[in-house]
Amino acid sequence: MKRLALTLLAAAALPGIAHAQATDTATADVGVSGTVAKLCTLGTPTPAPVDVGQMANTSGARVGKITVIAPRTVTLPGSFCNFAGSAITVTATALVSTDASAVEPGFAKAVNYTADVANWAAGSATVTTAATAGGGSPTASATGPTQPAPKVADLDVTLSNFTAPSDFLLTAGAYSGLVVVKLGPVASGGD
Amino acid sequence: MTRNLKRPSLKRLAALSAAAVAIAWSGSAAAQSDTDTKDFAVVGNVPAMCVGGTLTGTGATFDMGVLIDINTGLLRNDLAAPPKILSGSFCSARSTITVNATPMAAQTFTSTPPAGFSRLVDYTATAAGWTTTPAAFATGAGSNPAAVQTRGTAFSGDITVSVGSFSTVGGANQRLVADTNYQGNVTVTLAVAS
């Protein structure tokens, strides 16, 4: 009985083995992997450069002093970061006369303004320049809030609040400033 | 022998693969970044301009009073008047200040006076405070090179205008014809220098 039973077991096992060896299909898994690098891109500033034109009053009680300069907006279209944890840093340099001569008492050779970069995070990145009458220390920088998700947007840079140091008379000449917008991971986010 | 040949071949393949990856990676690193920066210029201008300011004090007239010594009929030698201040004057660039003046002339007695008499009084007008050397104009001088002075920088400040050095046209021994109104004019001009 014992022999018979073993034989039967062997017979029962054989069909199973014969079945596995006879199939015409084989299956195996091959992994496919890739990476996407962190990427931030800013659109081309439009319009640029920004020419605010003539900045001094030529008549009236404030003749020679800074006039009311309307805000200007520059758009950086299609700006994006494909990762969470990015922020805007805006660095603005005041409009300073290109004439290197020393400024005279009662005069200024710089025009300060506020640069505001909006439409990225919950709040905007805003900085106001604080150049001296002589054009010293014209550059200021600020970083806006963190954007917690990948985002694509048209960034609006608004220049406003144009003022002369101490509201002095403005020295004649051509003035030039610079706005730099940087989009990247927040400093603490690591990369 | 066969095994020995195959092994180096695999190593070479691996080395080539590693090289290919390295090349691909360096290409990717150059083309993309997690940070982007864009900048644009902001420009403006301030025109060169000059503003002459306003006269302060007692009006815009130097009132010299009676011009002659009533005992002699000759021009007084002590004529004087307080200076006028042009306040709030400025130029936003290099500038010139020019002073010009006309002799004091009898306004009613306009015909040629008889011998021994004159209807004109010369004087010197001076504009000080703008330049190191005040601009000065003598109405009796044939030329007045000092009437125009240049300042090389922008400036804001008061201009003091004064008159003095009065003399009778024709000579100190000429008597002035009677007239209730002798009048001259002083003009101060601020201009942007080229």
**Other residues' Cβ atoms within 10 Å of the Cβ of residue B133:** 10
| Tokens read off for A83 | 């990762």
Q: Distance between CA atoms of B188 and B125, rounded to whole angstroms?
A: 9
DSSP state of B34: S
Place of tokens 């009796």: B140
Q: Domain ranges in chain B? A: 1-35, 50-192
Q: How far is B120 from chain A (nearest CA, A)?
A: 38
C-alpha angle A72-A75-A79 in degrees, rounded to nearest 5: 155
If one compares A161 and A100, the residue with the highest pLDDT of the two is: A161
Average pLDDT, chain B: 85
- Chain B residue with CA closest to A113: the answer is B42
Tell me, what amino acid is at B113? P
Instruction: List, as ranges, residues 112-141 from A with C-beta within 8 Å of B.
Output: 113
Q: Distance between CA atoms of B36 and B69, rounded to whole angstroms?
A: 87
Range A58-63 average pLDDT: 92
| Candidate from A105-119, A147-161, B21-35 with smallest mean pLDDT | B21-35
- Chain B residue with CA closest to A84: the answer is B34
Give this prediction's pTM.
Answer: 0.78
Instruction: Considering only the beta carbons, identify the residue of A64, A79, A179 that sits closest to B42.
Output: A179
Q: What is the ipTM score, two decimals?
A: 0.83
C-alpha angle A112-A92-A136 in degrees, rounded to nearest 5: 55
| Tokens read off for B12 | 């070479």
How far, rounded to the nearest angstrom, does the alpha carbon of residue A34 sit from its chain's CA centroid? 26
Structural domains of chain A in order of their starting residue, each with its CATH number? 40-189 (2.60.120)
Mean pLDDT by 10 residues, chain B (194 residues): 40 40 38 87 96 78 92 93 91 95 96 95 96 96 95 93 95 94 95 89
* Percent residues over pLDDT 90 in chain A: 81
Does the beta carbon of B156 lie under 8 angstroms from any beta carbon of chain A? yes
pLDDT tens for B44-93 read: 999 999 998 888 766 788 999 999 999 999 999 999 998 999 988 999 99
Q: Distance between CA atoms of B190 and B66, rounded to whole angstroms?
A: 32
